[in-house]
Amino acid sequence: MSNPRHGMDSPEATLGSSGQDAAAGETMIASLADVSAAKALPLQGETDLITRVQAGDHLAFAQVYSLHKKRIYSLCTRMVGNAAEAEDLTQEIFLQLHRKISTFRGESSFSTWLHRLAINIVLMHLRRKGLALISMDEAMEPVPEGGAVRSFGTLDPRLSGSIDRLALERAVSDLPAGYRLAFVLHDIEGYDHQEIASMLDCSTGNVKSQLHKARLKLRDALRELSRQEERR
């Protein structure tokens, strides 16, 4: 798979856009409050839809917004844990999309490309807040021999029935940002290891290591929550 960080097909956010471009993007986002017209458009293939957006078709952009906003907002919410911040980040992501969609060349799926753009913006936001981020390189410690990477859907049986959704959400939000990102993209958003590796510009082995460690931390956190419940 080609690396979307290199060449033209790269969605990294650049904040140095012209005032005219920014104003145009803000006007576009403001107009997306009512996307009913976009939803009424005939079903379009992804390639045709993106081509229309790149040609300046506002209704096509509104359809892209309608199709992807919920998933992008969900990613932002899980990464920052604050609805207001997530809404602001979602708007920023689509503003950046409006500015940068001309660089999309179809070397990966549009959803993967858009999520990479979103991830870059979310991580920049977390860095500005001074949060420590675990890099992919730091996560590449060897997985213990025989320590199979178990699906999060197969938690320790002793935890069965004792962990509710709120406890799980709290445990996920307490993960280091790097681990949380791998977990959210794979176990919640449903992307495979290779897609996530493309988004994060790393190897699939790196992604698997991050995911494995995220699951271990979650397992430990949920066990501790279970013990706390038993002591009450």
Domain ranges in the chain are 19-128, 157-231
Tell me if the pTM is above 0.85: no
CB within 8 Å of 195: residues ≥ 6 apart: 108, 109, 112, 185
Q: Which of 8-12, 37-41, 56-60 has the lowest mean pLDDT?
A: 37-41
- Give the number of other CB atoms < 10 A from CB of residue 161: 8
pLDDT digits over 83-104, tens only? 999 999 999 999 999 999 999 9
CATH no. of 19-128: 1.10.1740.10
CATH no. of 157-231: 1.10.10.10
What length does the chain have? 232
| Highest mean pLDDT pick, 8-17, 24-33, 185-194 | 185-194
84/3 Cα distance (integer angstroms): 33
106/72 Cα distance (integer angstroms): 19
For residue 154, pLDDT over 50 is answered with: no
pLDDT digits over 170-192, tens only? 888 888 888 888 898 998 888 89
Mean pLDDT rounded to a whole number for the chain: 73
Q: pLDDT band for 22, please (50, 70, 90 cuts).
A: low
- Give the number of other CB atoms < 10 A from CB of residue 42: 4
